[in-house]
C-alpha cells in the first residue's frame, strides 16, 4: 500500500472518530434540552408558589421538582462521562462551563429548600434558576462553536437560538406569573416583560434563518396563532395596568401560566424535532464517511499502478509543456478542469458558510464580554448593560459587535496604562 493511500485511510478514520465525538456532543445537547424544559416548569411553579405565599401551585411545584430530579440524574451521568473522557474537540472553556453547571447542580437542593420555606423572593428564585439554565445553554453554545462540520454547525446554531428563545419565553412566563399573581406590575417588571418579548423575537429570527426545511415546517404547524394572540392580549394588559393598589386574581395568573405553558410546550416539540434532525444528520455523516473508508480500502480492479504512475508513463519522450497543453485541450482534460472548479466552488461555499456561522458566534461572545464589563464598571444589571450597549452603538452608527470590540479594546488600553 502506498504512503498516500495510507494517509488517506488515516484521514478518513480521523473524520469518522471526530464525527462520532460530535454525535456524542449532540446527544448531550438533547439531554440538556429535556433538563432545561423540566427546570423551566419548576421555575414557573416556584414563582407563583412564592408570590402567592403558598396558596397556589404547591402540589404542582412538588410534581415538577420530582421530574427535574429524574432528569438531573441523567444529565449528571452524561456530564460524568464527558469529564472522564473529554472529546478531542473540547476546549478549556467548554470544560469550565460544564464544571460551573456541575457546581450549580450541587446547590439545587438548597435553592429548593429556600423556596419551600419562603426564604427568598420570587425574583431571587427566578434569578437562581436563570443562572443554572444559562450555564446549560452555554454548553450548547460551546458545542456549536467547536463543531467543524458546516451542516452540523448550522443545525447546532439553530438549536441554540431556539433553546435560548424558549428560555426567554420561560423567563417571560415567570415574570408574568409574578405580576399577575400580585395583581400589579411595577415599572421594572413591565420593562422586563417588553425586553423579553423583543429578545425572543430576535432569537427566533436567527433560528429560522439557520434551521432546515423540516424544522421550519414543524415551527409553522405546532405553534398556535390563537394561543399567541391570547398571550399578546395579556402582555398588553400588563403594560397598561395602572399603578394603584394590587388586585389579586388567581384566575388571571392561572390563565397566563396555562397559555404561556402551551406555547413553551409547542416550542419544546419544535426543539425535539430539531434535535432529532441533528441526530439523523450526524449518523448520515458518519455513514458516508464509513462508506468512503470502505471504498478507499477496496483494491482497484484492473489497476496495475496508481493514477500518478500511469500519468508519468504517458509522458514518454513528450516534453512536459506539450503534455500539459494536450491535457488541457482534450475532452477528458476539460471535464477534469470543470470538475475541479465545481469542487473548488463547493468547498469555498462550505468554508464561507462555516465562517459566517462562526462570525455570528464570535460577535455574540464579544457582546457578552462587553456587557459583563459594563455591568462590573457601571454597576448595571444585565438588562441595563444591554440597553446601554445597544443605545451607544446606535448613537455612534456602529454594529453592537463593533461597539463591543471598541469597549473591550479601550478597557485593555486603560488597564495597561494603570500604575
Q: How does DSSP assign 344-370, residue by residue?
A: HHHHHHHHHHHHHHHHHHHHHHHHHHH
CB 101 within 8 A of CB 94: no
What is the CB neighbour count within 10 angstroms for residue 216? 17
* Domain segments of the chain as ranges: 3-288, 351-419
Of 114-128, 259-273, 350-364, the least confident: 350-364
Which set of grid coordinates corresponds to residue 221? 404547524
Cα–Cα–Cα angle for 359, 139, 163, rounded to 5 degrees: 80
Q: What nine digits make up the cell of 170?
A: 420561560
Higher pLDDT, 272 or 306: 272
Calculate what percentage of the chain has a pLDDT beyond 90: 21
Residue 146: predicted pLDDT? 65
3-state secondary structure of 183: coil
d(CA 364, CA 376): 18
Q: Which three cell numbers stand for residue 275?
A: 434535535
CA 61, CA 34: separation in Å to the nearest integer? Answer: 17
What's the CA dihedral at 401, 405, 406, 412 to 10 degrees?
160
pTM reported for the whole predicted model: 0.66
Q: 143-163: per-residue pLDDT in tens?
A: 766 667 778 888 888 888 899
CATH of domain 351-419: 1.10.10.10
Report pLDDT for 162: 92
Give the pLDDT confidence score for residue 373 in this predicted structure.
Answer: 86
Mean pLDDT for 391-416 is 80
Amino acid at each position: 500500500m502506498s504512503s498516500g493511500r495510507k494517509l488517506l485511510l488515516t484521514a478518513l478514520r480521523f473524520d469518522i472518530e471526530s464525527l462520532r465525538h460530535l454525535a456524542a456532543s449532540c446527544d448531550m445537547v438533547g439531554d440538556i434540552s429535556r433538563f432545561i424544559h423540566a427546570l423551566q416548569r419548576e421555575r414557573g411553579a416556584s414563582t407563583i408558589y412564592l408570590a402567592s405565599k403558598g396558596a397556589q401551585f404547591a402540589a404542582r411545584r412538588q410534581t415538577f421538582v420530582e421530574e427535574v430530579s429524574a432528569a438531573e440524574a441523567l444529565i449528571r451521568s452524561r456530564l460524568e462521562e464527558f469529564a472522564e473522557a473529554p472529546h478531542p474537540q473540547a476546549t478549556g472553556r467548554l470544560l469550565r462551563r460544564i464544571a460551573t453547571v456541575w457546581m450549580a447542580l450541587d446547590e439545587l437542593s438548597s435553592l429548593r429548600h429556600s423556596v419551600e420555606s419562603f426564604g427568598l423572593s420570587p425574583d431571587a428564585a427566578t434569578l437562581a434558576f436563570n443562572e443554572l439554565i444559562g450555564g446549560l445553554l452555554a454548553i450548547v453554545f460551546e458545542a456549536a462553536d467547536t463543531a467543524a462540520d458546516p451542516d452540523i454547525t448550522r443545525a447546532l446554531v439553530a438549536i441554540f437560538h431556539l433553546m435560548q428563545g424558549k428560555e426567554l419565553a420561560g423567563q417571560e412566563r415567570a415574570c408574568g406569573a409574578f405580576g399577575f399573581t400580585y395583581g400589579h406590575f411595577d415599572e421594572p417588571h413591565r420593562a422586563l416583560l417588553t425586553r423579553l418579548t423583543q429578545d425572543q423575537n430576535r432569537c427566533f429570527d436567527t433560528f429560522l434563518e439557520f434551521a432546515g426545511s423540516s424544522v421550519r415546517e414543524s415551527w409553522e404547524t405546532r405553534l398556535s396563532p390563537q394561543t399567541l394572540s391570547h398571550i399578546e392580549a395579556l402582555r398588553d394588559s400588563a403594560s397598561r395596568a395602572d399603578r394603584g393598589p394590587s388586585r389579586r386574581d388567581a384566575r388571571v395568573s392561572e390563565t397566563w401560566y396555562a397559555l404561556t405553558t402551551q406555547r413553551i410546550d409547542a416550542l419544546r416539540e419544535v426543539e425535539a424535532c430539531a434535535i432529532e434532525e441533528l441526530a439523523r444528520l450526524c449518523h448520515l455523516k458518519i455513514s458516508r464517511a464509513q462508506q468512503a473508508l470502505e471504498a478507499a480500502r477496496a483494491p482497484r480492479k484492473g489497476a496495475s499502478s496508481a493514477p500518478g504512475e500511469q500519468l508519468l508513463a504517458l509522458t514518454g519522450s513528450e516534453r512536459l509543456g506539450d503534455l500539459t497543453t494536450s491535457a488541457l485541450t482534450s475532452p477528458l482534460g476539460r471535464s477534469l478542469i470543470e470538475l475541479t472548479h465545481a469542487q473548488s466552488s463547493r468547498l469555498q461555499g462550505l468554508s464561507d458558510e462555516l465562517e459566517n456561522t462562526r462570525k455570528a458566534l464570535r460577535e455574540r461572545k464579544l457582546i457578552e464580554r462587553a456587557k459583563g464589563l459594563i455591568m462590573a464598571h457601571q454597576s448595571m444589571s444585565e438588562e441595563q448593560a444591554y440597553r446601554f450597549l445597544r443605545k451607544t452603538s446606535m448613537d455612534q452608527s456602529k454594529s453592537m459587535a463593533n461597539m463591543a470590540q471598541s469597549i473591550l479594546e479601550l478597557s485593555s488600553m486603560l488597564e495597561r496604562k494603570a500604575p
